């Protein structure tokens, strides 16, 4: 519900001789997207009011009225009965006007010692801090789902690729743990970003600081901030903390996009490594046989959307002089959409990972198509005393002969293999098998099933402690 206000109802109306036009009101208003910060605005206002009362700047009676009014406003907002007014521009003035309606002069005193500039900067930080906490939990949930999948398939073999060509056999569990590592770094970046988000701008006022005896550290304590912003100009004018978050979010979405690309490829009937649960797929309006991996495809697309928001915020800030400028109103929609997109994507991917069904025989057949154990044969010769470059050359000849004969290295009889080197013995077939290849890589970070299980245990311990 919206209503129009006269110019005298504006917080700054006395300075102007004519009202803002309806078009300008719509163009400059932010209330219909920044109202999502309403509860954080109330939280910040209550801390500010408590500090004002503690410092003797407002009375205890004023504080009680403000707390009573804010409690009712919170109830109205949560119940859906709050009347948001376009003419009041933003979430801050909407709440302030309603507070004044409820408690009179005490509501008018709340804005003592602050500006909308430091108020909005505080609200955004409170909102983003909460969003980061939620996202960190979602990342851990996704990691846990991948760890479960890695443990279940710790010995399942699929081809590992470089340049999209079969390179060496790996275990599916090892492959899943690669993404667990990526998401782990994403969580580290977000946790580090949270430290810089968690600094209090309130008290910077419009740009130069306040003339009242504010206790900024008390407000920081009440709101759970680790520190205050130590320069008033910087506090109200920079959004680098939001840009940093969007950068971390773009990286996380990039990791999701890479995973999505593999899921799409693996689900293709031409590859046929996996199947996704039906609830994550859609059909075709014309081709009844189709089962399309819409969720991973859309995640790839939404990654571009998040990348775009990062560029938008960088572009928004690059030409702004100190201090606050109206440009900064444009920080919220990209930030909010980034939070929403990453949050929804992480939540759905955690669920989707539990619905991945493997087709091990197709994976195994693919691993046997590209001479995936050729490096193992070269390593075998090196362990027998041959220089690696010589071993590489010999195996390359053997691979070329196998290509012409249409067989794998493991299909060659011992007598044929010994024509390439007299160092080759009957034990060569242990290293030419797919199982032998992955088992041989039994070192920290390797693909051996034993290493996968150790990595699973390590990650379970880390996630439990997070």
Summarize the confidence of residues 429-451 as an average pLDDT: 95
Looking at the domain assignment, is residue 3 inside a domain?
no
Q: What is the CATH number of the domain that holds 420?
A: 1.10.40.30
Summarize the confidence of residues 305-329 as an average pLDDT: 96
pLDDT, tens digit, for every residue of 22-64? 888 888 789 999 999 999 999 999 999 999 999 999 999 999 9
**Count of other CB atoms within 10 angstroms of residue 255:** 17
In percent, the amount of the chain with pLDDT more than 90 equals 89
Q: What is the CATH number of the domain that holds 32?
A: 1.10.275.10
pLDDT band of residue 308 (cuts 50, 70, 90) is very high
Q: Are residues 66 and 157 in the same domain?
A: no
First to last CA, the chain: 43
Q: Are residues 358 and 383 in the same domain?
A: no
Q: Are residues 91 and 46 in the same domain?
A: yes
pLDDT, tens digit, for every residue of 204-242? 999 999 999 999 999 999 999 999 999 999 999 999 999
Range(s) of the domain holding residue 324: 117-364
Please, are residues 106 and 60 in contact by the beta-carbon 8 Å criterion? Answer: no
Closest CA to 410 of 395, 421, 422: 395
Classified as helix, coil or strand, 20 is coil
For 268, which DSSP code?
A: S
Q: Are residues 99 and 129 in the same domain?
A: no
pLDDT value, residue 369: 86
Q: Are residues 304 and 181 in the same domain?
A: yes
User: How far apart are the C-alpha atoms of 371 and 375, rounded to whole Å?
Assistant: 9
**Count of other CB atoms within 10 angstroms of residue 239:** 22
Final residue belonging to a domain, choices 305, 338, 364: 364
Final residue belonging to a domain, choices 48, 79, 112: 112
Summarize the confidence of residues 305-322 as an average pLDDT: 97
Answer yes or no: is pLDDT of 287 > 60: yes
Q: Are residues 154 and 278 in the same domain?
A: yes
Summarize the confidence of residues 4-13 as an average pLDDT: 52
Closest CA to 142 of 174, 171, 177: 177
pLDDT, tens digit, for every residue of 89-137? 999 999 999 999 999 999 999 999 999 999 999 999 999 999 999 999 9
pTM: 0.92
Mean pLDDT in the chain?
94
Summarize the confidence of residues 3-24 as an average pLDDT: 62
Cα separations in angstroms, 135 against 92, 121, 131, 189, 402: 26, 21, 6, 12, 51
Final residue belonging to a domain, choices 364, 396, 429: 364
Summarize the confidence of residues 354-375 as an average pLDDT: 93
pLDDT band of residue 3 (cuts 50, 70, 90) is very low
> DSSP string spanning 278-339?
GGG-B--SS-TT--B-HHHHHHHHHHHHHHHHHHHHHHHHHTPPSS--GGGGGGHHHHHHHH
Answer yes or no: is pLDDT of 1 > 60: no
364-387 exposure pattern, b = at least 16 Cβ within 10 A, e = fewer: bebbbebbbbbbbbbbbbbeeebe
Answer yes or no: is pLDDT of 7 > 50: no
Q: Are residues 354 and 390 in the same domain?
A: no
Pairing mode, if any, of strands 199-200 and 227-228?
parallel
Which are the catalytic amino acids? 163, 284
In percent, the amount of the chain with pLDDT more than 70 equals 96
User: How far apart are the C-alpha atoms of 222 and 343, rounded to whole Å?
Assistant: 27
Q: Are residues 71 and 34 in the same domain?
A: yes
Residue 229 makes CB contacts below 8 A (sequence gap 6+) with 199, 200, 201, 204, 235
């Amino acid at each position: 519900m919206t209503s129009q206000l006269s110019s005298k109802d504006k917080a700054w109306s006395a300075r102007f001789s004519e009202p803002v036009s309806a078009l300008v009101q719509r163009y400059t208003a932010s209330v219909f997207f920044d109202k999502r910060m309403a509860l954080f605005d109330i939280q910040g206002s209550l801390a500010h009011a408590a500090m004002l009362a503690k410092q003797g700047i407002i009375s205890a009676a004023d504080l009680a009225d403000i707390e009573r009014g804010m409690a009712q406003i919170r109830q109205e907002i949560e119940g859906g009965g709050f009347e948001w007014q376009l003419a009041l521009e933003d979430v801050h003035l909407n709440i302030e006007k309603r507070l004044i309606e409820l408690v009179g002069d005490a509501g008018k005193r709340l804005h003592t010692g602050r500006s909308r500039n430091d108020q909005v900067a505080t609200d955004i930080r409170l909102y983003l801090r909460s969003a980061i906490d939620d996202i960190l939990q979602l990342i851990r949930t996704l990691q846990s789902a991948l760890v479960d999948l890695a443990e279940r398939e710790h010995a399942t073999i699929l081809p590992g690729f470089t340049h999209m060509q079969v390179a060496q056999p790996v275990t599916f569990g090892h492959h899943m743990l690669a993404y667990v590592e990526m998401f782990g770094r994403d969580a580290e970046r977000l946790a580090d970003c949270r430290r810089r988000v968690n600094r209090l701008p309130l008290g910077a006022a419009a740009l130069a600081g306040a003339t009242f005896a504010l206790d900024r550290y008390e407000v920081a304590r009440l709101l759970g901030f680790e520190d205050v912003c130590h320069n008033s100009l910087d506090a109200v004018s920079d959004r680098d903390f939001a840009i940093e978050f969007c950068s971390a979010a773009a990286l996380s979405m990039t990791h999701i996009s890479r995973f999505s690309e593999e899921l799409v490829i693996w689900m293709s009937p031409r590859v046929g490594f996996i199947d996704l649960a039906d609830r994550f797929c859609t059909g075709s309006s014309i081709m009844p046989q189709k089962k399309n991996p819409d969720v991973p495809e859309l995640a790839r697309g939404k990654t571009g959307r998040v990348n775009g928001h990062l560029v938008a915020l960088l572009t928004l800030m690059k030409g702004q002089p100190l201090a606050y400028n109206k440009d900064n109103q444009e920080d919220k929609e990209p930030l909010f959409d980034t939070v929403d997109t990453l949050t929804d994507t992480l939540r759905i991917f955690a669920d989707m990972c539990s619905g991945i069904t493997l087709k091990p025989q197709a994976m195994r057949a693919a691993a046997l198509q590209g001479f995936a154990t050729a490096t193992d044969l070269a390593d075998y010769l090196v362990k027998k005393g041959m220089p690696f470059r010589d071993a590489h050359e010999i195996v390359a000849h053997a691979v070329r002969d196998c290509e012409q004969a249409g067989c794998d290295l493991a299909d060659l009889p011992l007598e044929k293999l010994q024509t390439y080197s007299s160092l080759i013995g009957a034990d060569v077939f242990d290293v030419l098998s797919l199982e032998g290849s992955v088992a041989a890589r039994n070192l920290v970070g390797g693909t051996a099933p034993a290493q996968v299980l150790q990595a699973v245990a390590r990650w379970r311990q880390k996630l439990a402690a997070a």
